[in-house]
Amino acid sequence: MQVGLKALANHYGIALVQPLSVESVIGAVNSSRTLNGRVENSYQPSYQPSNDFAGHFEFGLKYEPMHLEFFARLFAAAGPEPIADWCHQSPFGQYARRAGFLYEWLTGKRLDVPDVKNAAYCDAISAKHYLVSTEPQKVKRWKINNNLPGNADFCPLVRYTAALQEALAFDLKAELNKLSQQFGADVLMRTASWLTLKESRSSFLIEKESNQTDRIQRFAQVIAKHCGRIESPLSDEGLQQLQAGILGANALGLGMRRSPVFVGQATLSAEIVHYIAPHYAALPNMLEGLRLFEETTRGADPLIRAAALAFAFVYIHPMRDGNGRIHRFLINDILLRDKAIPSGVILPISATIMSSLDFRSNYDRVLEVFSKPFMQRYAASYRFGKSTVYEDGTHSNLEFDEYEDASFAWRHPDLTEHVMYIAKVVAHTIHTEMADEARMLINFQQAQQHLKDVLEMPDQDANRIIRSIKENNWQVSNKLKKEYSVLADADIAERVVEAVRDGFASL
């Protein structure tokens, strides 16, 4: 027999964007099995709840993960009566109180029940199992500590699953300290400017815009200037400052959007839609929820905060253009603000994402954790009709019928897998990308010194010769001989090549 949240979903005909991660049944013995990524838990008959709203809801709160999209849809479908009845019958019970609080918090409507008296405060959600607000607010009416990390207009959840806790066992500060001890703090800091440029170039590769030299340099400057330093990156002013820096002051797509938007690609015959973003009228409240999430989770694990904020931002998609680059900027920005990485250091996250087919495909896959079921749920709800010019100057012919229904999902994404992905990316970035860059810098410096032992020259010329020889399979090219006539001497050329090779011998 199905019990818990799935039983309520079946009874009220609730269709979710992100499915319930756990479903519960009553069987002969306690057991658990995983099918197609979903967990089915079986409980002995002694766990059988009463077959009504309160019984299944309480079972869900006790034994199943929180699912805010589900609760919001359930309250809309069931109305206030079953929650109010439960609260009247069990006025001091923590599960009835939590249900009553969640109803009022998610719907903004007041239940016709008296305030709770003489009960001990309990948390809205478990700090052991979820990322919660580090500044819970006491809700006197329900005797609830509201530790939800957002507001009703936008509150993502991150579940501390076993897999996530394993990924978070990586100690970011300790690993950076190891790099510093291995290569020296000065070397680590000197790699920062190159890593910043590499991050910018790789970010454009993700956007499939690799041959945009000016734009790559511009984004690199934004990272160097603003990352961890801009006063309030998620404010309207902060976002527009970042966007203008990334796109250029004369770009056409500046500002917060006041038009519909989708992420997709065009073919000769049609538009392929991968994701439709929230209605522009909802953006101010959703961004306020995102800002509240950032403020109230300060002090929590920086990696969780950075990943959740970055992916939440890209799903909200508030800007006319530049959302993807701001999304990746936010990862380093939060890590710097939380002092998880030293000032001036940039983790080349985008470079890691582009470093292998596995990381790149998993980046797309983690974005699809939300976007793919979203588009499956609303596949018949959008079309392309007559083009309209919107308030922000955007021309769009996208028509979407289910903004109100889809808001249940947009407001409450589960970002657990997104955090797990970024944790793995950061670990690889430090162990591989940053370590490799530090080794390369040390070897390049050695090659410079060896080269100057053969020929005295300015650093700029030494760098040009080293790069050319290394890229030309350890040979002096005819072009290099024309630029530096001394290299036409075969003996000198041989000594120069040997000096450069010696510099990179430890690679």
User: Bigger pLDDT: 207 or 301?
Assistant: 301
In whole angstroms, what is the distance from residue 407 CA to residue 377 CA?
Answer: 13
At residue 13, the pLDDT reads 97
What is the pLDDT at residue 270? 73
- 155 assigned to some structural domain: no
What integer pLDDT is reported at residue 249 of this predicted model?
78
262 and 378: one domain?
yes
| pLDDT of amino acid 507 | 53
The pLDDT-based confidence of 113 (bands split at 50, 70, 90) is: very high
- Percentage of residues in the chain with pLDDT exceeding 70? 95
> For residue range 73-82, what is the model confidence (pLDDT) as tens digits?
999 999 999 9
Instruction: Select from 376, 395, 422 the last residue of a domain.
Output: 422
Arithmetic mean of pLDDT, 156-181: 92
First and final C-alpha spacing in the chain:
62
Band of the pLDDT at 433, cuts 50, 70, 90?
confident
187-241 pLDDT, tens digit per residue, is 776 666 666 677 777 776 777 655 566 777 788 888 888 999 999 999 999 999 9
Distance CA 92, CA 244 (A): 53
Q: Residue 165 domain-assigned?
A: no
- Tell me what pLDDT residue 355 has: 84
Residue ending a domain, among 99, 131, 148, is 148
- Select the more confidently predicted residue: 137 or 440: 137
Which CATH number is 269's domain given?
A: 1.10.3290
What's the Cα-to-Cα distance from 125 to each of 120, 136, 166, rounded to whole Å?
A: 15, 11, 22
- Give the list of residues 6+ apart from residue 443 with CB closer than 8 angstroms, or none: 503, 504, 506, 507
Q: Give the contacts of 163 (CB within 8 A, at least 6 positions apart).
A: 420
Q: 398, 422, 446: which is the final residue of a domain? A: 422
Average pLDDT of every residue of the chain: 92
pTM score? 0.89
Same domain, 103 and 61: no
Q: Is residue 189 part of a domain?
A: yes
Q: What is the pLDDT of residue 208?
A: 63
- Picking from 132, 69, 77, the residue whose alpha carbon sits closest to that of residue 106 is 69
Please tell me the total count of domains within the chain: 4
Q: What distance in Å separates the CA atoms of residue 133 and residue 125, rounded to the nearest whole number? A: 10
Residues 375-429: pLDDT tens digits?
999 999 999 999 999 999 999 999 999 999 999 999 999 999 999 999 999 999 8
* C-alpha to C-alpha distance for 249 and 107, rounded to whole angstroms: 41
What are the tens digits of pLDDT across the range 468-484?
999 999 999 999 999 99
pLDDT for residue 247: 86
Give the pLDDT band (50/70/90) at residue 334. very high
Domain that holds residue 385: 176-422
Residue 373 scores a pLDDT above 70: yes
Same domain, 244 and 384: yes
Does 255 share its domain with 220? yes
In this structure, the answer to whether residues 291 and 193 fall within a common structural domain is yes
Task: Note whether residue 47 is domain-resident.
Answer: yes
pLDDT value at 285 more than 60: yes
Task: Write down the pLDDT at residue 356.
Answer: 86
In a shared domain, residues 448 and 319: no
pLDDT of residue 251: 81
Per-residue confidence (pLDDT) for residue 218, from 0 to 100: 80
CA separation for the pair 364, 354 (Å, rounded): 11
- pLDDT of 106 reads 98
* Mean pLDDT, range 447-470, rounded to an integer: 91
